[in-house]
Structure 1
Amino acid sequence: MKLVKLEFRVGGVEDFNLNLTLKPSFVSSLYTKSGDSWIKVSGLLAGDLVVTYVDGVLTVYSKACGDGDLLREVALCETGLWDEPPRARISKLKGKLREQVEALSQLYPGVRLSISPHDFNCIFIAVVLSKRTRYDVFVKRWVGELWRRWMCDLEVLAKLSISDLKPVGSSYQLQDMLEALRDFVNLDVDLTDVAEARRRLMACRGVGPKVADATLLFTTKSPWIVPCDTHLKRVSKRLGWVNGDVRMPSKQLCLRYYCDECMSKYGECLKVAIERLFPGFGGWVQTLTYLFGSSTCRAQRPLCERCHPTLAEYCVEARRRPLSSRRRSKDFV
């Protein structure tokens, strides 16, 4: 079969960074990295899609995909190039929000949203497994073994017992996955209506707002969806985006009310606040806070010396610390 090659000239690192785009995305669970190349190992075109990014040129190779339009669509979605460049989003902001998001984008340049609309099953499994555990260490290992044995077939996986999963692991996340899948296979989820799809996903055992929102963020072209995790909450509080007592989205309330009705009764949750501050692209901002919060702005012993000076100026936590502990990164002096 003839090798198909697509090339996309992207521009500078501030516009696109393949590694930083895939790292925080659950789409990375479908790939393995080798040198400058990302090789797809699960889902659509598994074993036959290779992506490289060198000197501003993204190159995509495939033999099995004879449909050039499909290959282009998969490539654009999974590399994040379907998404608008960071500078376009930053230009929509004003005042301190613009300064803060621009600083985050300088720390993590070229981040786009990598999504995989053709691999919903795989992404849903990876997100469900990610609860309260380390994605790079455990989730990627679990899904690699699951997909090697049973592919991304939800019907097959839902019929397994916990003893069937012993070769994969013994963590409670695997038991939770089975329960969620057994509920999900009996649902009819229409991904064209993300608000209703969110509620249907949350009808599954073990699926709350964060799991539902992350699944939809990474499987639909909906950059406004905001999965609320501890990193987003911590960074948002420290930068003054939300009050210290902001509440996280609640599964009970999300199933009972739509957002407007819930907000009128209980006030804004973190999700609604971020959607209001960053209309249309809250999911992209959440991705930046995940990178920042997991590596630098940590809950315990934050690495303030690595922080961008603009962020440090606004940080509530930094102002509480002695001046001697507020060392600035040499990269931004």
Structure 2
Amino acid sequence: MMIFDKQLRSSEGSVEVWREFNLDESLNASFVLPFFEKHNRGYVKFYGWSRGLRIELEADTLRFNLSSSREVLMLSGAWFNPHLEIAKTSRNAKKILEKFLEVFPGLGIAINPWDRVGMLYTIFLSRNTDYYRNTVIWMKKIFKMAETEDKLSNVRLNSIGRSYQLKQLYKVREKLISILKDDSSAESYSLDKFLEIRKRILAVKYCGPKIAHGWGLFSLGLTCLSQVDRHLLRIGEALGIIGPDDKIPFKNFCAHSRCFVRKDCKIIDRCITYKMYRLFGVAAGWLQTATYLYGAKYLSKGKDPFKVLRR
């Protein structure tokens, strides 16, 4: 299907998306969620780039204001169509991906390459906590106080809450901001450039590969990356994707290698993130997002309605 622009008025537009696309599902599975408030059938972005943008899905069309179709496709997740990407994978990979497409046929990958510091804050605060009950609420409070990226450092984090995640963010936020400030004018990063930034992120206390790879996926749209979380581990082991000798990415190895470019990591043959890329290509990030959504929506409540854990 060809995606096209249609101008409705000077400040409004629409863009056709793939038939199965689900806006609610795509935003709820992404670190982009806290940047939006739900209003009736649509979402309004209340922080940072394109503040005031409204996105609403009607049938197979996204209607919007104050933005371009390119920005809307990225922020909504509709730019990534898993139905097309699955066709490029091997037979075995396709079988696994199709299993999750049955569950989440409308799942895209919502990304935000413009509010990069806000995205990094969000991913940092998602560690070891309930994303929807804590992280999203914390970040919405922070975003409403700051309104723009250049005011993020002015927010008094102790007024947001008393969790250890917020206390740790307070200690390192200036370092996180400085990492991205140098490249704030760049609209996109290559994988090679991301690996340089990954090294700098990993040099910051409390930041591991899960944070760096999550930022690369959901801020830059590098869908070859996947975060290794408990849902991926559980589902991956059940489906035979992850074996007993496979390893979660090590911070020290990730900080000193350019694995996706030079394949120079000592555990590259056993690294789960690289194995996901080797098996599923650019659909690796989508699969990890789908396993997270399935785990959070069903497995965490003791349910497995689609029998994903049964091979």
- Class of the TM-score when normalised by the shorter of the 2 chains: 0.7 to 0.9
SS at match of 2:264: helix
CA contact (8 A) 2:76 2:110 kept: yes
SS at match of 1:281: helix
SS at match of 1:58: strand
Unaligned runs of 5+ in 1: 63-69, 315-333
Equivalent-residue separation in structure 1 for 2:195 and 2:18 (angstroms): 35
What are the within-5 Å matches in structure 2 for residues 52-91 of structure 1?
Answer: 52-62=56-66, 71-83=68-80, 85-91=81-87
CA deviation digits over 1:197-245, x for unaligned, max 9? Answer: 1111111111110001111211113111112211111111110012034
1:39 aligns with 2:38: no
* Rg comparison, structure with higher value: 1
Corresponding residue number in structure 2 for 1:27: 32
SS at match of 2:106: coil
Unaligned runs of 5+ in 2: 1-8, 184-188
Over the residues paired in the alignment, what is the CA RMSD in angstroms? 2.2
Corresponding residue number in structure 2 for 1:7: 14
Corresponding residue number in structure 1 for 2:3: none
Letter in 2 for 1:33: K
CA contact (8 A) 2:245 2:270 kept: no
- Report which stretch shifted further, 93-102 or 118-127: 93-102
Letter in 2 for 1:307: F
SS at match of 2:220: coil
Corresponding residue number in structure 1 for 2:165: 173
- Report which stretch shifted further, 189-198 or 271-280: 189-198
Equivalent-residue separation in structure 1 for 2:64 and 2:165 (angstroms): 34
1:92 aligns with 2:85: no
Corresponding residue number in structure 1 for 2:242: 242
Letter in 1 for 2:306: C
Corresponding residue number in structure 2 for 1:322: none
Corresponding residue number in structure 2 for 1:274: 276
Corresponding residue number in structure 1 for 2:103: 107
Equivalent-residue separation in structure 2 for 1:112 and 1:5 (angstroms): 23
Per-residue deviation at 1:152?
4.6
What are the within-5 Å matches in structure 2 for residues 234-313 of structure 1?
Answer: 234-259=234-259, 260-263=263-266, 267-298=269-300, 302-304=302-304, 306-308=305-307, 311=308, 313=310
CA deviation digits over 1:174-197, x for unaligned, max 9? Answer: 111122312224436654411111
Equivalent-residue separation in structure 1 for 2:90 and 2:152 (angstroms): 50
Letter in 1 for 2:208: G
Corresponding residue number in structure 2 for 1:50: 54
Equivalent-residue separation in structure 2 for 1:186 and 1:28 (angstroms): 24
Per-residue deviation at 1:40?
0.8
Per-residue deviation at 1:3?
5.5
Equivalent-residue separation in structure 2 for 1:152 and 1:212 (angstroms): 22
Which has the higher relative contact order, 1 or 2, with Cα contacts under 8 A spaced 6 or more apart? 2
1:136 aligns with 2:132: yes
* Fraction of identical pairs, as percent: 24
Per-residue deviation at 1:33?
1.0
Equivalent-residue separation in structure 2 for 1:138 and 1:3 (angstroms): 39
Letter in 1 for 2:229: D
Corresponding residue number in structure 1 for 2:5: none
CA contact (8 A) 1:77 1:116 kept: yes
Letter in 2 for 1:202: L
- Report which stretch shifted further, 95-104 or 34-43: 95-104
After the TM superposition, which segments of 4 or more aligned residues of structure 1 sit over 3 Å from their partners?
151-156, 185-192
Per-residue deviation at 1:21?
0.9
Per the normalisation by structure 2, the TM-score is 0.86
Letter in 2 for 1:195: L
Letter in 2 for 1:273: K
CA deviation digits over 1:241-294, x for unaligned, max 9? Answer: 12034211111221133322224x574211111011011221111111111122
CA contact (8 A) 1:76 1:82 kept: yes
1:184 aligns with 2:176: yes
Letter in 2 for 1:57: T
Corresponding residue number in structure 1 for 2:123: 127
Residues 207/312 of structure 1: CA separation in 2 closer, same or farther (3 Å cut)? closer
Per-residue deviation at 1:297?
3.5
Q: How many residues align?
A: 292
SS at match of 1:25: coil
Letter in 2 for 1:217: L
Equivalent-residue separation in structure 2 for 1:50 and 1:114 (angstroms): 15
Residues 27/212 of structure 1: CA separation in 2 closer, same or farther (3 Å cut)? same
Per-residue deviation at 1:151?
3.3
SS at match of 1:60: strand
